[in-house]
Structure 1
Amino acid sequence: MPLRLSFNPASPETSLGDDPLPHPSSEDVASSSRNASNFNLSHELAHAFQTPSYHDIRSRLLVTDPTQEQLELFLSQELKPNKESVQEALTHAKKTTLTNLVSTYFQHSENATRLCLNLYQNVHNARHHLYTPLLELFNVLPGDSHVPIDKSQCNLAFDVFLKLDTFENPFPSPENHIFQETQSCFSQLKHKLDTRLRKSKSRVRLLHHATAGPLCSPYLPHSFKKKEITNISQLNVAAKGTFVLDKDLDTIDRLVSRLHAGIESDKLLFRHGLDRGRDVYSVQVFLKQLRKSHVSHTHQLEELVDHICRWFTNVNRSRSSLLKEMHIPGT
């Protein structure tokens, strides 16, 4: 069954608003407000690691060939609801300020998810072309960094330095502004959602006071109040989702910056090692430093993969909750 939004046509009495969305109960206003005020970001982020969807996403991502084609396929299969479902749903919605904001939210969340998958490709490149060759080198050298290496081991390490010196850092530098642009989109959207949310809450308060008078109530239909209550519920879901995803991006941004800086530091060690030539003592000094950074940077790579999987968990939950709020028949 195709996904369809059950937006009802506006009646003449609802001319004060532009979003004809009915809602079954006005009690959801108080509930939505409580949920928004009691929302705990730390709890939400911690909970993401405990959900089955996180582990499912992670297990499927780790066996995916990190080519652009395969990652696009992964996106189409794992992003819930997917692009086609969202487009089908929005096609049947009346074009209003609210539906435009909802459409923008879905587009931003999809674009940001694609960015996260590109980072997973960068993780693979760093592991395969940089840290795996280093680990293979460490495995044939003395396990104790204080044990002197011989000339043949020095030459082997020097040759590895030569190869890795040409490795290009796969992670964007902070000056690239990729994340800043993406986060700016979410910030602008959050501002618009908050503005629209305040507008709907103000309307509900005005209607509440207006309908309290016996002379006014016949002229202010309850359907308009229900419509605004539905708007509030949907806007709360979208605003909450935007807030969580923006914080996720902020964390991922910091991890990527650290990885970029770490790889640049390793490349500098390669360069210094090459500048010193095949000197056993100098090569051993740089190997000792690289062993330390290797542990730290491989851990950061794993941490980034964790956050990419958590991103999927949060974005899927957020997108699904929003579409559910919009009353899709058959779901």
Structure 2
Amino acid sequence: MPHCLSFNPASPEASLGDDPPPNPSLEGVASTSRNVSNPSPTFNLSRELAHAFQTPSYHDIRSRVHVVVPAQHHLHIQPDIELLLSQVLQPNKECVQDALSHAKPTTLTHLISTYFQHSENATRLCLNLYQSVHTARHLYTPLFDLFHILPGDSHAIDHSLCNLAFDVFLQLDTFDNPFSSPESHGFRDTQLCFSQLKHKLDRRLRKSRSRVRLLHHATAGSALCLVAAVVGVAASAALIATHLLPTLVIAGPLCSPYLPHSFKKKELTNISQLNAAAKGTFVLNKDLDTIDRLVSRLHTGIEYDKLFIRLGLERGRDVYSVQEIVKQLRKSHLNLNHQLKDLEDHICLWFTNVNKARSLLLQEIHLPRIHGNL
């Protein structure tokens, strides 16, 4: 097997068996014989998510990304998304291109190449979102610092604290929402790409399964024809005397030739690759759905905060108005912190899931060459 599959000897991604039983979504990717639409009756989403957040591969990914992005934000450096992508996404683009370069340019190869490209683009989008999480925390820092200075009872704010709070409002009013609106095309386009790809993979999968069934029946039919031919030859001597040989000659061509076993084996290989790609597409699209909902809630929450801040600025340095705005922002900031943490967790979970899904598909591509089937 090419060296790309063992990305990092010390990394859990190098061996999928290093982790405990995987996230239920990844279980669907790993098991090509299980129907993802029929979850276990004992499935518990909260328990499985909690487990996924404790796996070694999740912590490995989180540590790699967390070291780079916050540090660059602290230094006011714009993170290099492409550099981060090369560090996070495994198997990386070069490894995938090397594997696909040995494959014939068929419809299947094109679909698999599209799958890897879509997963790469979606990971790039998630890296930008991860950056947005830390941008939001950085932008809200003056407000969080203000809460530490102000007394717990907002009605105890004096004029000096009122002026300090008003200055913070002025500062917060200048920043743009780091999260795009729900109507933006970023997520919608990415999800549409995955949905369309899933449809094409399913259609190609049905075609391959149909071919295997036809090959199975043809092989069985050829065997029967072979038996019939042997019997016919044995009986031909008796039939010649009664001029029935033309009947046998007519029946003979109806028996289809024995189709090669290698052709059926090739279709089974295609099915394994299509299964891995289709189930990976399904899982990753569901992950994107979750991330999209979290981003939408964060965008809405930040817009409400900005609205309150503008209302406070319109009323000037009035103590009562500032007290009311601080009261509202204090209520919302705990929820905001929770949502930022939730989004950050799910983005890191995406990185873990996409790497496992890409790895499983690449293994399916390499297996035929390992066993000399291609």
Normalised TM-score (structure 1): 0.85
Residue 194 of structure 2 is aligned to residue 186 of structure 1: yes
Alignment deviations for residues 77-115 of structure 1 (CA, whole Å, 9 cap, x no partner): 221100010111111111111110000000000000000
What is residue 185 of structure 2 aligned with on the other side? 177
Alignment deviations for residues 171-225 of structure 1 (CA, whole Å, 9 cap, x no partner): 1111212100000000010000000000011111111122122126852111111
1:300 to 339, 343, 349: 339
Matches of 1:221 and 1:4, distance apart in 2: 33
* Pair 1:230–1:93, CA change in 2 (3 A): same
Matches within 5 A, 1:159-308: 159-213=167-221, 214=223, 215=225, 219-308=258-347
**Structure 1 residue ranges without an equivalent (≥5):** 6-30
Q: Secondary structure at the match of 2:32?
A: helix
Letter in 2 for 1:101: L
Matches within 5 A, 1:1-331: 32-34=32-34, 42=45, 48-64=52-68, 65=72, 68-129=78-139, 131-145=140-154, 147-213=155-221, 214=223, 215=225, 219-327=258-366
TM-superposed CA distance for 1:132, in Å, is 1.1
Letter in 1 for 2:59: H
Partners of 1:4 and 1:89 within 8 A in 2: no
TM-superposed CA distance for 1:32, in Å, is 3.4
What is residue 239 of structure 2 aligned with on the other side? none
Matches of 1:32 and 1:296, distance apart in 2: 40
Letter in 2 for 1:136: D
Partners of 1:48 and 1:313 within 8 A in 2: no
Partners of 1:141 and 1:153 within 8 A in 2: yes
Alignment deviations for residues 258-299 of structure 1 (CA, whole Å, 9 cap, x no partner): 111111100111101011111111111110100011111111
Alignment deviations for residues 44-85 of structure 1 (CA, whole Å, 9 cap, x no partner): 766532321111111221111355553322210221100010
What is residue 9 of structure 1 aligned with on the other side? none
Matches of 2:202 and 2:120, distance apart in 1: 21
* Pair 1:276–1:4, CA change in 2 (3 A): closer
- Identical positions, percent: 74
In our comparison, the structure showing a higher alpha carbon Rg is 2
What is residue 246 of structure 2 aligned with on the other side? none
Letter in 1 for 2:328: Q
Alignment deviations for residues 92-143 of structure 1 (CA, whole Å, 9 cap, x no partner): 11111111000000000000000000011111111101x2111100111002
Matches of 1:3 and 1:206, distance apart in 2: 38
Q: Secondary structure at the match of 1:160?
A: helix
Partners of 1:3 and 1:88 within 8 A in 2: no
Matches of 2:153 and 2:322, distance apart in 1: 15
Normalised TM-score (structure 2): 0.76
* Pair 1:32–1:56, CA change in 2 (3 A): closer
Partners of 1:36 and 1:236 within 8 A in 2: no
**Structure 2 residue ranges without an equivalent (≥5):** 6-30, 226-254
* Pair 1:237–1:276, CA change in 2 (3 A): same
TM-superposed CA distance for 1:34, in Å, is 3.6
* Pair 1:189–1:47, CA change in 2 (3 A): farther
TM-superposed CA distance for 1:3, in Å, is 6.1
Matches of 1:207 and 1:4, distance apart in 2: 35
Q: CA RMSD in A?
A: 2.4
Letter in 1 for 2:89: L
Letter in 1 for 2:84: F
Matches of 1:291 and 1:4, distance apart in 2: 49
Alignment deviations for residues 243-265 of structure 1 (CA, whole Å, 9 cap, x no partner): 01101111111111111111110
Matches of 1:148 and 1:234, distance apart in 2: 66
Matches of 2:292 and 2:322, distance apart in 1: 33
Partners of 1:48 and 1:314 within 8 A in 2: no
Partners of 2:99 and 2:365 within 8 A in 1: no
Alignment deviations for residues 130-181 of structure 1 (CA, whole Å, 9 cap, x no partner): x211110011100234x42111001110111111111111111112121000
